[in-house]
Amino acid sequence: MLLQIPDVLSPEQIRQCREALSNAEWSDGRGTAGHAAIQVKRNQQLAPDHPLTQQIGDLILQALPASPLFMAAALPLKVFPPRFNRYTGGGEYGFHVDGAVMSVPGTPHRIRTDVSATLFFSDPDEYDGGELVIEDTYGEQSVKLPAGHLVLYPGTSLHKVTPVTRGARLAAFFWTQSLVRDDGQRALLFQLDQSIQALRAREGNDAETSRLLGVYHNLLRQWSQT
Ligand code: NI
């Protein structure tokens, strides 16, 4: 399931982050690429141990629980500390699948990358190209969102970032290990959740919506792993 989540960060938060990031030193993104990815990756990345990686990453991690859409769609168990990349001057990242399990630097923790996320820090009119193209069961989906907006997509998908031919594309990216590993099951739970929310808003908490809510939780109980 591919889902756009608007306004995860406010325009003011984006402005402050971008101001801080404008003076940061960016390093070659190939430093963190695996054997296969290194052939297709041409971008810049903020070092994982850079103070801003931690600082802005924490800001994002604090914003996520405040987003009902993110919580319902990702059903997060663990979230990988966000990282930051920058594409400019023809930079691109060819088709690849992200590593299935990521080690969290400086900790013994590992995270299974069930759900991938990109949070845009540049507005679409600031750069040409730089589309995030995700191969979905419905074909290729091209995503380019306003600053502060987030896209979620299955960690299992093949994806790429097309060459940035004008301006610069700044974004954060991270992965979530979900309570529900399977994308299809997660998508069903999300649809059920959204329908229950809409029914409750329209009809209030009647017996049928309570029963449906029970079905939701009992499915989550069956499918979740903690
Ligand atoms: Ni990727």
E-strand stretches of the chain: 3-5, 27-28, 41-42, 44-45, 76-79, 83-88, 92-96, 101-103, 110-112, 115-120, 127-129, 132-136, 139-143, 150-154, 159-161, 164-178
Number of C-beta neighbours around residue 17 at 10 A? 23
The residue behind tokens 């963190």 is: 32
Residue 163 CB contacts under 8 Å (≥ 6 apart), including other chains: 87, 90, 91, 92, 129, 130
Ligand 1 centroid from CA 211, angstroms: 40
Ligand 1 centroid from CA 223, angstroms: 26
- The upper half-sphere exposure of residue 151, i.e. CA atoms within 13 Å in the direction of its Cβ, equals 21
Ligand 1 centroid from CA 160, angstroms: 7
pLDDT of residue 137: 81
pLDDT of residue 138: 82
Give the span between the Cα atoms of 24 and 45, in whole angstroms.
Answer: 10
For residues 159 and 140, the answer to whether their CB atoms sit within 8 Å is no
Ligand 1 centroid from CA 203, angstroms: 42
List C-alpha distances in Å: 18 to 6, 28, 41, 160, 184: 18, 19, 23, 23, 36
Give the span between the Cα atoms of 220 and 201, in whole angstroms.
Answer: 22
pLDDT of residue 105: 87
Ligand 1 centroid from CA 169, angstroms: 15
pLDDT of residue 69: 97
- Each of the 226 residues of the chain gets a pLDDT tens digit; together they read 999 999 999 999 999 999 999 888 898 887 777 776 777 888 899 999 999 999 999 999 999 999 999 999 999 999 999 999 999 999 999 999 999 999 998 899 999 999 999 999 999 999 999 999 999 888 999 999 999 999 999 999 999 999 999 999 999 999 999 999 999 999 999 999 999 999 999 988 899 999 999 999 999 999 999 9
Cα-based angle 188, 191, 194 (whole degrees, multiple of 5): 150
Ligand 1 centroid from CA 201, angstroms: 37
Ligand 1 centroid from CA 182, angstroms: 19
Ligand 1 centroid from CA 36, angstroms: 12
List C-alpha distances in Å: 97 to 56, 114, 210, 215: 25, 12, 40, 34
Ligand 1 centroid from CA 97, angstroms: 6
Give the span between the Cα atoms of 176 and 12, in whole angstroms.
Answer: 26
pLDDT of residue 225: 95
Q: Tokens for 161, please give them.
A: 């970032």
Ligand 1 centroid from CA 94, angstroms: 9
State if pTM tops 0.85.
yes
